[in-house]
């Protein structure tokens, strides 16, 4: 894992000094993160990189993962879809399964944090164990138009927290507790984002049967309907009529997402036998994802709903032009025609991809602008600073925190 001093060449010494001063103000308090999976998805990825840095700053940071069976994660996937506004049939039995698993986790999990930081709906019931410590609920998903039944169910727990964190202003809801806006981040020194020699990129993609003999369009995401991989296939097919190109759809499945293999099968069926479509079910191989992004000419993120979409910042950090849907937290990362191209339809996305493939200089400039935007806004050091200030605000609610 990277140490704080290794970030100095990227963000400057003043940023690191600022983090150390904030860490000192927390005076060794324990911060306990809880989520639903240790592997797969952006939450686990961020915590994996952030917890060691918080510890280096003197915060007694920890990370726990709740337990749940197939039925529970089937229900929480329904909740996930419903919170994004998708129609789901959610029964009384579903709520009972959620409550039953929540009670079991409440009994099993030791709460030790001065600040307890709960990520997303799966562990939300742990707030029933609240005592004199501070509790924060971190919502990583787009709840701008949630299913009212699911939202009201969750509100029974949310209102018991001391604060709530959203990734975009548009996700904010009327709540009786304090709300904070904190965007996610990428780690520029992780295997997924660090610089790679060109020969390493070439070797790794060739190991997977990929050759850069024609332009490569890539989307890297879980195989999830809200990531719209079938829509990406349609975009590619429209572009292919005008430009000979190839498509990479690469991603894995998360332990708390039971739909992944079903969506993967649908993608393979629609792709047919086109030799220029490469569908990769990836292991947890961040270096390979890094190489795939660096080998690509255009990166897509054609989500239908998106809490943030870390793959956008990952691609921009590598100086790649990105075509992405104007949904959720993506417009925070892309200023249209400056740091990428935003789209609203399959046809619009295809037009944008063709424009980039036909105008390499324009594509390069978008990627350059995007990298600087990520440097200034979406790197892990900024995220750590925001969280430190958040934790301090729990103890200095009515005071000015002086550095």
Q: What is the pLDDT of residue 168?
A: 92
Residues ≥6 apart with Cβ < 8 Å to 369: 335, 338, 339
Phi then psi dihedrals of residue 272, to 5 deg:
60, -140
Distance of CA 363 to the CA centre of its chain: 24
Query: CA-to-CA distance for 380 and 362, rounded, in angstroms?
Result: 28
Binning pLDDT at 50, 70 and 90, where does residue 402 land? very low
E strands, 36-120, are 60-65, 115-119
Query: CA-to-CA distance for 167 and 135, rounded, in angstroms?
Result: 18
To the question of domain 4-185+380-393 being in CATH 3.30.70.100, the answer is no
Query: CA-to-CA distance for 163 and 369, rounded, in angstroms?
Result: 34
Domain topology for 198-377 = Rossmann fold (3.40.50)
Q: Are 219 and 302 in contact (CB under 8 A)?
A: yes
Q: Of residues 242 and 281, which shows the higher confidence score?
A: 242
The ranges of the chain annotated as CATH 3.40.50.2000 are 4-185+380-393, 198-377
Q: What is the pLDDT of residue 142?
A: 92
The torsion of the CA quartet 321, 327, 332, 335, rounded to 10 degrees, works out to 50
Burial of 108 (0-12, 13-18, 19+ CB in 10 A): exposed
**Residue of 383, 322, 328 lying closest to 43 (CA atoms):** 383
Binning pLDDT at 50, 70 and 90, where does residue 283 land? confident
Q: What is the pLDDT of residue 397?
A: 63
Q: Are 228 and 346 in contact (CB under 8 A)?
A: no
Encode pLDDT of 244-257 as tens digits: 999 999 987 666 66
**Across the chain, what does the average pLDDT equal?**
94
Burial of 330 (0-12, 13-18, 19+ CB in 10 A): buried
Encode pLDDT of 114-156 as tens digits: 999 999 999 999 999 999 999 999 999 999 999 999 999 999 9
Query: CA-to-CA distance for 75 and 175, rounded, in angstroms?
Result: 24
Q: Are 254 and 119 in contact (CB under 8 A)?
A: no
């Amino acid at each position: 894992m990277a140490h704080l001093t290794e970030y100095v060449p990227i963000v400057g010494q003043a940023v690191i000094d600022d983090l150390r001063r904030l860490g000192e103000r927390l005076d060794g308090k324990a911060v306990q993160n809880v989520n639903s999976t240790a592997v797969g998805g952006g939450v686990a990825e961020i915590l994996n990189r952030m917890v060691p840095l918080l510890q280096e700053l003197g915060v007694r940071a920890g990370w726990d993962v709740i337990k749940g069976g197939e039925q529970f994660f089937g229900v929480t996937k329904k909740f996930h879809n419903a919170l994004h506004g998708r129609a789901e049939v959610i029964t009384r039995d579903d709520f009972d399964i959620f409550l039953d698993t929540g009670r079991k986790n409440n009994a099993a999990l030791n709460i030790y944090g001065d600040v307890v930081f709960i990520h997303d709906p799966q562990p939300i019931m742990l707030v029933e164990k609240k005592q004199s410590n501070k509790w924060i609920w971190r919502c990583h998903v787009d709840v701008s138009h949630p299913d009212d039944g699911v939202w009201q169910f969750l509100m029974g727990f949310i209102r018991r927290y001391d604060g709530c964190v959203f990734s975009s202003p548009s996700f904010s809801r009327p709540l009786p507790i304090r709300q904070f806006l904190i965007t996610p981040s990428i780690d520029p020194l992780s295997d997924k984002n660090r610089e790679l020699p060109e020969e390493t990129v070439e070797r790794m993609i060739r190991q997977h049967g990929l050759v850069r003999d024609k332009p490569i369009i890539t989307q890297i995401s879980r195989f999830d309907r809200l990531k719209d991989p079938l829509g990406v296939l349609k975009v590619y097919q429209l572009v292919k009529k005008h430009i000979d190109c190839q498509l990479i759809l690469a991603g894995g499945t998360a332990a708390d997402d039971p739909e992944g293999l079903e969506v993967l099968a649908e993608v393979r069926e629609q792709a047919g036998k086109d030799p220029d479509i490469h569908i990769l079910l990836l292991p947890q191989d961040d270096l390979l994802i890094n190489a795939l992004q660096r080998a690509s000419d255009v990166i897509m993120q054609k989500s239908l709903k998106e809490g943030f979409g870390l793959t956008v910042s990952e691609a921009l950090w590598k100086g790649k032009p990105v075509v992405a849907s104007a949904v959720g937290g993506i417009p925070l990362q892309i200023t249209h025609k400056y740091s990428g191209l935003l789209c609203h339809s399959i046809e619009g996305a295809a037009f944008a991809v063709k424009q980039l493939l036909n105008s390499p200089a324009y594509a390069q400039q978008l990627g350059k602008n995007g990298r600087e935007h990520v440097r200034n806004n979406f790197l892990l050091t900024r995220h750590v600073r925001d969280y430190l200030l958040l934790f301090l605000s729990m103890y200095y609610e009515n005071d000015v925190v002086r550095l």
